[in-house]
Amino acid sequence: MQQLTLFPESAPTLPVNYYPEFLNKEEADELYQHCQGLQWQQNTIRMLGKTMPVPRLECIYGDEGCDYLYSKSVLLKPLPWTSALAQLRDRITAATGYSFRIVIGNQYRSGQDSIGWHSDNEPSMGFNPAIASISLGSCRKFQIKPIGGRSTDFWLQHGSLLVMHPGCQSTHLHQVPKTNKVVSTRINLTFRPHIGGKR
């Protein structure tokens, strides 16, 4: 008799780790408050010959000179670390062993704010960057898939940490899709390495 397998298609192993309660509720609430006061900007992106607003607000903090250009179109120039962001950076480094020189913030004001399928493979981060992503506020769906493969969903909760390990950006794509559900603000902080700037 044929044996039934519990997992007919073996669960994909992903180059990520998810820690739902990296920050406790009190820490996450306090950090969310802090992040609301950061310098959020509405950037514009050039795509297919058109200029359009990026569908979320962005900010960047980090080491001097660690400028970040993405999609050959949006140039982010870091402001100096706030002490709360620098403390969080050091805590993530202690927990993961990875070092970071910038943090890019994304603010999703509603379900209509999003980030489409992409990988973070900007040369300014060097080869095979590790990226650590903190989520605050409303829970949103984060999807990740091997290039050409099927996607896995994570619901990134308030105070969680998602680590994308080295190699993830070469083999996988990720996104935070739009949703028609009523969701309020979500803030995401992605800590990243950088090969330039001043030490």
Ligand X SMILES: O=C(O)CCC(=O)C(=O)O
Handedness of CA 33, 34, 35, 37 (dihedral sign): positive
In the complex with Fe ion, the residue whose CB is nearer, 69 or 94, is: 69
Handedness of CA 170, 98, 13, 134 (dihedral sign): negative
Q: How many residues bind ligand X (CB under 6 A)?
A: 11
**Smallest distance, Å, CB 10 to ligand X?**
26
| Binding flag, residue 188, ligand X (CB under 6 A) | yes
Q: Which of 107, 124, 138, 190 lies at the binding interface for ligand X (CB under 6 A)?
A: 190
Is residue 95 a contact partner of residue 45, using CB atoms and an 8 Å limit?
Answer: no
Contacted by 176, from ligand X, Fe ion, none: CB < 5 to 8 Å by type: ligand X
Window 126-145: residues binding Fe ion (CB under 5 A): none
- Counts of helices then strands in the chain (DSSP H, E): 3, 14
Radius of gyration of the chain (CA): 17
Window 117-176: residues binding ligand X (CB under 6 A): 120, 133, 142, 156, 174, 176
Question: Residue 140 corresponds to which tokens in the numbers above?
Answer: 């949103």
Q: How many Cα atoms occupy the beta-carbon half-sphere of 35 within 13 Å?
A: 30
Q: Enumerate long-range contacts of 74-79, CB under 8 Å, 24 or more apart.
A: 74/43, 74/44, 74/45, 76/43, 76/104, 78/102, 79/39
Q: Of the candidates 187, 191, 192, which has an alpha carbon nearest to the alpha carbon of residue 31?
A: 187
Is residue 191 a contact partner of residue 132, using CB atoms and an 8 Å limit?
Answer: yes
Contacted by 106, from ligand X, Fe ion, none: CB < 5 to 8 Å by type: ligand X
| Binding flag, residue 120, Fe ion (CB under 5 A) | yes
Tell me, residue by residue from 51 to 70, as one string, x for binding to ligand X by CB under 6 A and - for no binding: --------------------
Contacted by 88, from Fe ion, ligand X, none: CB < 5 to 8 Å by type: none
In the complex with Fe ion, the residue whose CB is nearer, 30 or 143, is: 143
Provide the binding-site residues for ligand X, judged by CB under 6 A. 104, 106, 115, 120, 133, 142, 156, 174, 176, 188, 190
